[in-house]
Amino acid sequence: MTNRPHRRPARLGLMLTAFALALVSAAALPANPADAASDTAAADTAIVRQVTLDDRKAVVATVEPKHDLVARTRIAGTIASLSVREGDLVKAGDEIALVTDEKLALQMQGLEQRVEARKAELTKAQLDYQRAAKLRKSGTVAQAYLDNARTALRVAERNLEAARSDREVVNQQSEEGAVLAPGDGRILTVPLQGGSVVMAGETVATLAVDDYILRLQLPERHARFLKAGDTILVGTRGMDPDPGKEVREGQVTLVYPEIRDGRVIADVSVKDLGDYFVGERTRVWVATGRRQALILPERFVYRRFGVSYVTLADGTEVVVQVGEPAGTAPTGATGEKEIEILAGLKAGDKVTMPQLSAANDETGERS
């Protein structure tokens, strides 16, 4: 009798908990089960669509710097030192090499002696002028004597200024022996070695600015399709014929007005090309027209023993031939990757997600 009052509250609590769980489950269920079934069916089916696509041609593009910079000597002489080698990064104003000329050192010594001699002449001219001024003040000498002393002083001053200017010229020539980087970039070539005799204007190093572009060439028959602002697709780094999923977009920035050797040349801007080698080749896809194509979400295509299949809504399994790789296929309105169907289906066909059997699961794979 004493235990019954304690059992009733526990049993009542269990009933309330079950009732609350039932309410939560009912709220989670859709109002109309038929709508839920239709949503699931819509996610598991798709319609083959006919659309207009860019007819893309695979070509090879070369990585090039936007601008080539050249570091040249400013004086003739001998390369005393080289501070860079191929591949080094430099900033504008960095010293690349030092050119020295022994004749400049000898000229500097001679000019130093000339400056000292001009200073002595100036000192003597100043003393003569001061003496002449005192004698003229006392009336001992004529005014012409004072004028001659003043003129000699001015000539000595001008001679000293000229000697100093000549020394500055030679000093400036010595400083121009330093070959400086004309801008920021990476050293491509260093054609000279230390100890080489050079003339003024010779190339010591060539630099590539860090801003790289892709330069591509198309046959002349495709020139009318190429214009600035067009979008191209860039595959994986290197010459892999399949762009894979790492495809990137670039934009044509310049189409050269001259056709060379039957080819039109264009520059393409692509983000993050700074880690590529100059001259490295990569495969790109350029639009050379428009065409009609059948497309389907990629997830509905599966492969078995190297053959691509889809399953129609009535359960029939159909062999299909797929076109563009996933990396270059268009993206549907839902954000899904879509793939081109070359053969096996027609516009309007309804396909469903494949129901792979246990046996097929061992050899089946999505396209």
Q: Where are the domains of the chain?
A: 45-53+294-366, 55-65+210-290, 75-100+177-208, 102-175
For 315: left if phi > 0, alpha if psi spans -120 to 50, otherwise beta; the answer is: left
Nearest by Cα to 73 from 201, 183, 181, 190:
201
**What is the CATH number that goes with domain 45-53+294-366?**
2.40.420
Q: Which CATH number fits domain 75-100+177-208: 1.10.3720.10, 3.10.150.10, 2.40.50.100, 3.30.428.10?
A: 2.40.50.100
Q: Which CATH number fits domain 55-65+210-290: 1.10.3720.10, 1.20.120.1200, 2.40.30.170, 3.65.10.10?
A: 2.40.30.170
pLDDT at residue 339, as a whole number: 85
pLDDT tens for each residue of 71-93: 999 888 889 889 998 888 899 98
Domain 55-65+210-290 identical in fold to domain 75-100+177-208 = no
pLDDT tens for each residue of 11-47: 555 555 555 554 444 444 455 544 444 454 556 888 9
Q: How far apart are alpha carbons 136 and 145 in whole angstroms?
A: 8
Q: How far apart are alpha carbons 268 and 271 in whole angstroms?
A: 10
pLDDT at residue 28, as a whole number: 45
What contacts 280, CB < 8 A, 6 or more positions away? 62, 63, 237
What contacts 25, CB < 8 A, 6 or more positions away? none
Do the Cβ atoms of 351 and 45 come closer than 8 Å? yes
Q: Where are the beta strands (DSSP E) in 101-247?
A: 178-180, 185-189, 197-198, 203-208, 212-219, 231-234
pLDDT at residue 205, as a whole number: 92
Q: How far apart are alpha carbons 153 and 132 in whole angstroms?
A: 12
pLDDT at residue 87, as a whole number: 83
Tens digits of pLDDT across the chain (367 residues): 444 444 454 555 555 555 555 444 444 445 554 444 445 455 688 899 888 877 778 888 888 888 888 999 988 888 988 999 888 889 998 999 998 888 888 888 888 899 999 999 999 999 999 999 999 888 888 889 889 999 999 999 999 999 999 888 888 877 888 899 988 888 888 998 888 888 989 999 998 887 788 998 888 887 788 888 888 888 777 655 555 556 788 889 998 888 888 888 899 988 877 667 888 888 888 887 788 888 888 889 998 888 999 999 888 899 999 886 434 444 444 567 788 888 999 898 999 987 755 334 444 455 5
Q: How far apart are alpha carbons 365 and 358 in whole angstroms?
A: 13
* CATH class of residue range 102-175: mainly alpha
Q: Which helix (H) or strand (E) holds 97?
A: strand 95-100
Q: Going by DSSP bridges, is the β-strand pair 364-366/307-312 parallel, antiparallel, or unpaired?
A: unpaired
pLDDT at residue 326, as a whole number: 39
pTM: 0.52
